[in-house]
Structure 1
Amino acid sequence: MLAVLLACPAVWATGVPELLLKAVNETPVIQHKEDINPEIATGRRESQQAHAEHYMVSSANPLATQAGVAILAEGGSAADAIIAAQLVLNLVEPQSSGIGGGGFLIGYDAATQKVQAYDGRETAPGAARSTRFMQGEQAIAFKDAVNSGLSVGTPGLLRMLGQVHAEHGKLEWARLFEPAIELAEQGFEVSPRLHAMLDQNTELRRQAAAAAYFYDEKGLAWPVGHVLKNPAFAQVLRRVAATGPDAFYQGKIAHNIVDAVAGHLVPGDLSLQDLTAYRSIEREPLCAPYKVYVLCGVPPPSSGPLSIIQMMTILSYTPIADLVPGSAGAVHYFSEAGRLAFADRAVYLADPDFVEVPVKALLDPQYLRLRADLIMPRRTIGQAPPGDPIGMLAVRGEDVSPELPSTTHIVAVDSEGSVMSMTSSIESAFGSKIFVDGFLLNNQLTDFSLSDVDAQNRPVANRLEPGKRPRSSMSPMLVLKDGKPYMAIGSPGGASIINFVAKVLVGVLDWDLSLQEAIDLPNFGSRNYATDLEKGTVLRDVADDLRAMGHEVREVDFPSGLQGIRLTPDGLEGGADPRREGVAAGG
């Protein structure tokens, strides 16, 4: 280990080696998988696992899954199913995603045997400046930034969906809108989760247009089972169905969006030009080997897949595969890998069209082996230092901006074996709270660093700039085996998405769990601060062991919403997170 430390001068600068050297000769506390029944590590409700022979959809709401499955039953493609499901989610899960936001998608086309990645992330308005969220030399309160017109970025979701349909769609574009239009006009029942989120949200009530739709005349959230209709959204969908995404980015809808942002008490500067000029981007997929698999995800400006691949590679140099799920040792190693990945993420990850993102260096196996060697078997690193793979650390500032967990994920597999995995978002719960023509606008600009420099006055890579895409943690991913899709997964959860997806990958690929068993495992991990354990689960039993290793332990709500599908020789295996209302189904 001493040789490793000498080879990594950036680590010496942090003061960590003294602690590391004290632990060189310590031996690990290991609970092996054969020692404990893995069932005790779950403690969750009945499995939601689904099976199908030909096609499948997994999404965050039964109505959205139903819409996607109906499209696949008609001979539609995985891309068609994703679009139909997303439009329904905009209606029934408005707190999480929609056409007022953006997303990322990765897919495998069975005909071409090609993996493709699509970037529909929002962009900063042309008039935006890096001091947007500053008041003098201090950043304004995060809550104030979110709930304002300043937080709204140019929505990208419909442009991305239009591009994906043009390349991979089979059914007519307008057909994909029919399930959402029908639900918007005839109404849908308010779910328990939507009711609860409406009931606890005060900022949404303060926006007149939103309050008129989401609450009754007394300001009370519509009760569970109330039939909610959205004719304004139905009209938007009819226009976009008839003429394509241009109907959203130009004309009446675009004017209404710009006016709503400008008319907020704290106005923003989104313009018609921003909407007209927006383009989604096909980017080179980010793929890396992991044991007998290949992990593929979307590249920056999402930090998610890169950080997950870093974590998985680092964990491959630890004994985690031999440990029981939920044991203190497993949580320790997983959390330490997360610390190291999040340390790099805070410094290097941003929009690659604006700053250099050293993707190759950050994923170099030799570099990650050096990072893995910082992990001690019986002592936490504490706050991990970023690495310095290409000598950029001295000139890069650290971004510590929060990311709030309101996002959604959809996976679809069609009868020809094509696979689509998409994560989409409006950022925080109900986005900016600005409601226009029946849908909510995002607050994604708060995913930029609120300050353009860090405490040492170094420029932050993820600072706000005109036309730039904010860093994301969205992590739609594919796992390939022998060149073919083996699994497609993703999750909501803000920055915790990275931990949620990595946990399931470890569960399936290392612990030989079924997809649903891996999803059901209690959530845990670190974002380079405390070690978080999902509240109310069996992980409480390992909290003291972790504290004895020096971990600052927090037991918190960990609201993942992971959706996934695994492709097996016996058919399709679908998983849905029991923490939300999702369901997987197929035929």
Structure 2
Amino acid sequence: MLARLRRSAAAGAIAALFVATAAMAQPAPGGAPSMTDGRAAPEAATGRAAARAPVVTTRTMVVAAHPLAVQAGRAVLAEGGSAADAAITVQLMLNLLEPQSSGIGGGAFVLYHDAMTGRLTTLDARETAPATAGPDLFLGPDGEPMSFRAAVPGGRSVGVPGVPALIHALHETYGRLPLARLFAPAIALAEAGVPVSPRLAGLLADPRYSASLRADAAATAHFYPGGTPATAGMLLPNPAFAETLRLMRDQGRAAVYGGPVGADIVAAAAGRADNPGRIAEGDLAAYQVIERSPVCVPYHQHRVCGMGPPSSGGLAVGQILGLLDRLPLQADKGPLALPNVTLLAEASKLAFADRDRWVADPDMVDVPTAGLLNPVYLDARAHSIEAGRAMDVPAPSGMPPGARSLAMAADPGRHENGTSHISIVDGSGNVLSMTTSIEGAFGSGVFVRGFLLNNQLTDFSFRPEIDGRPVINRVEPGKRPRSSMAPTIVYDGDQRPAIVAGSPGGSRIIGYVTGALTAMIDHGLDPQAAAEQPHVLNRNGPTEIEAGTAAEALIPALTLIGDDTATAEMTSGLNLIRINADGSLTGGSDPRREGIAAGD
């Protein structure tokens, strides 16, 4: 009885906090947000919210996809925790609050700026293919690639998760507070009941996104109580996840990579008769977080740094900005001025052509990272862009310095969608930019011990060969699939962190992040305005225009210069921080999702 009363009280407190935080979203008279003193609020429902003011703080800031996660991270920073500490707490909270996007069943990339040493570290916690997974993983009995819809649900698409190992790696290197403190908010939330957000409720009710869940008995029991989708405001207890977190807290990475949680992951993935997985306990035991070299490029008196391969994000963002650095961008005309949009689209075509041809897991194939950003190579690529004329598609791809041959075939492959981004600055000036993902909405749909497993293996190319040449991003044992995630830290002319950026959005992440950076660096937009601006991007195809926005007015002019266009819904989730010259922080969160910026 006492235990039930305690759970009831905790649930009431969490629900009250959820309601109070949501109330911050309500604009003051005249449409101005009511609060900019370190607090802001999520969209009140799905869709784009009205414009709001940026959040300004003096010392610390967390920007992430759900207000309860942000406030939990903010509390960690207030107690003297590091940016890494706060990121651990935020990620564990998001696993519950935004299960469709990220969690301990997935992977992530992290950029971490250590204020004491000035060193930038990039950590690769991308999933890996099982040792028994080969180029035939996604081929049907007829030797042809499976459909994407057929490949996702079940264990076949599950890669070895990287987030649990990342959590412990971050804490061992940069942590200040004990793990018990960092895990406590998510454990309490899981036990009390997780409030279902409007966005999550909408996805659960939409068969386009929820099909993988309904194919899994455990997932159906959790997300569809009584057989119907959980609705907004409903509390979903998750005691299984609370127990999982206790094991991770007490046993370290061994709980997942050699203990009971790992054993259940293997069993759940293999047990799906419709699509059995190949992941084994040996694959878990062999998993390692890898420190990679940052990918940095100079851009308009700044240095923009991102994640290198197996992510294509840092390279593509770097190439686009490197090309724009050589082209006549018109800063006084704004980001949606036709000349600026055209240059950005043309530079993006070239970057995506190189991405598809050259980028995959660098431990498995030769990736000419330095050559793709070589100034001479970028000079040559920039010369192929003509003002007032759209480039043919596909854009030509040159041979960057250091590239050995064209023996491997290019292929756009598949792109992650179930993703989230976290930006944090702590009181000591440490900076974290982390993009984290389970791939598609709800991942593989396999639900084990209170969390969802990823479907990241579908980010590999399904077709292993094209015209007799091996595809660069094909499935191979132990390989990490190419990603588009683009966590970014920008340094100013004095080599001090100036901008923290990142977004979910599949391969559109590259365009979202690049657009936000040019808006802030070249056009002087604050982080909130940069997050809210309409999207225009190109992935080496038609120039894509965000539907229902002012950017649609560009379509006739783009058509006149020979550019194909397409409109689309673009549910980005940009979470941005600008570190001002006086040390204060300005933050903004994308109104297309439920995130906020907050700090002290």
The total of aligned residue pairs comes to 543
Post-superposition offset of 1:392: 4.6
Instruction: Deviation per CA, 1:42-101: give whole Å up to 9, x if none.
Output: x97222521111111000100110110000000000000001000000000000000000
Instruction: Deviation per CA, 1:397-429: give whole Å up to 9, x if none.
Output: 011212142100001111110001100000000
Q: Distance in 2 between matches of 1:216 and 1:159?
A: 32
Please name the residue that 2:501 is paired with: 489
Please name the residue that 2:490 is paired with: 479
Instruction: Deviation per CA, 1:13-32: give whole Å up to 9, x if none.
Output: xxxxxxxxxxxxxxxxxxxx
Q: Distance in 1 between matches of 2:199 and 2:53?
A: 17
SS where residue 211 of structure 2 aligns? coil
Q: Distance in 2 between matches of 1:283 and 1:400?
A: 23
Q: Distance in 2 between matches of 1:238 and 1:375?
A: 55
Q: 1:380 aligns with which of 386, 390, 394?
A: 390
Q: 2:355 aligns with which of 338, 345, 350?
A: 345
Post-superposition offset of 1:364: 0.6
Opposite residue 301 of structure 2, the aligned amino acid is: V
Q: Distance in 2 between matches of 1:364 and 1:422?
A: 26
Instruction: Deviation per CA, 1:252-271: give whole Å up to 9, x if none.
Output: 11111001010112101100
SS where residue 422 of structure 1 aligns? strand
Gaps of 5+ in 2: 1-47
Please name the residue that 2:75 is paired with: 70
Q: How does 1:175-254 map to 2 (within 5 A)?
A: 175-200=181-206, 201-217=210-226, 219-254=227-262
Please name the residue that 2:147 is paired with: 141
Q: Distance in 2 between matches of 1:57 and 1:393?
A: 44
- Do the aligned partners of 2:51 and 2:532 also contact (CA within 8 Å) in 1? no
Q: 1:558 aligns with which of 570, 594, 597?
A: 570
Matched, 1:469 2:480: yes
Please name the residue that 1:582 is paired with: 595
Q: Distance in 2 between matches of 1:330 and 1:228?
A: 47
Post-superposition offset of 1:377: 1.4
Q: How does 1:303-452 map to 2 (within 5 A)?
A: 303-322=312-331, 323-383=333-393, 384-390=395-401, 392=404, 394-452=406-464
Q: 1:287 aligns with which of 296, 300, 320?
A: 296
- Do the aligned partners of 1:48 and 1:578 also contact (CA within 8 Å) in 2? no
Gaps of 5+ in 1: 1-42
- Do the aligned partners of 2:295 and 2:318 also contact (CA within 8 Å) in 1? no
Opposite residue 257 of structure 2, the aligned amino acid is: Y
Q: 1:544 aligns with which of 556, 559, 562?
A: 556
SS where residue 532 of structure 1 aligns? strand
RMSD value, Cα: 1.3
Please name the residue that 1:510 is paired with: 522
Instruction: Deviation per CA, 1:277-333: give whole Å up to 9, x if none.
Output: 111111121122212111111111111011000000111222224332212222221
Q: Distance in 1 between matches of 2:167 and 2:325?
A: 36
Post-superposition offset of 1:122: 0.4
SS where residue 416 of structure 1 aligns? coil
Please name the residue that 1:29 is paired with: none
Please name the residue that 2:265 is paired with: 257
Deviates most, 312-321 or 181-190: 312-321
Q: Distance in 2 between matches of 1:382 and 1:572?
A: 42
Post-superposition offset of 1:340: 0.4
- Do the aligned partners of 1:535 and 1:555 also contact (CA within 8 Å) in 2? yes
- Do the aligned partners of 1:311 and 1:502 also contact (CA within 8 Å) in 2? yes
Opposite residue 540 of structure 1, the aligned amino acid is: E
Q: Distance in 2 between matches of 1:368 and 1:321?
A: 20
Q: Distance in 1 between matches of 2:293 and 2:327?
A: 30
Change beyond 3 A, Cα 1:236–1:469: same
- Do the aligned partners of 2:297 and 2:322 also contact (CA within 8 Å) in 1? no
Q: Distance in 1 between matches of 2:127 and 2:53?
A: 33
Instruction: Deviation per CA, 1:421-470: give whole Å up to 9, x if none.
Output: 1000000000000000110000001111111112x222111111111111
Deviates most, 346-355 or 238-247: 238-247
- Do the aligned partners of 2:49 and 2:592 also contact (CA within 8 Å) in 1? no
Matched, 1:524 2:536: yes
Post-superposition offset of 1:118: 0.4
Q: Distance in 1 between matches of 2:56 and 2:126?
A: 32
Opposite residue 464 of structure 1, the aligned amino acid is: V
- Do the aligned partners of 2:416 and 2:456 also contact (CA within 8 Å) in 1? no
Q: What's the % identity of the aligned pairs?
A: 46
- Do the aligned partners of 1:48 and 1:583 also contact (CA within 8 Å) in 2? no
Deviates most, 389-398 or 47-56: 389-398
Change beyond 3 A, Cα 1:256–1:60: same
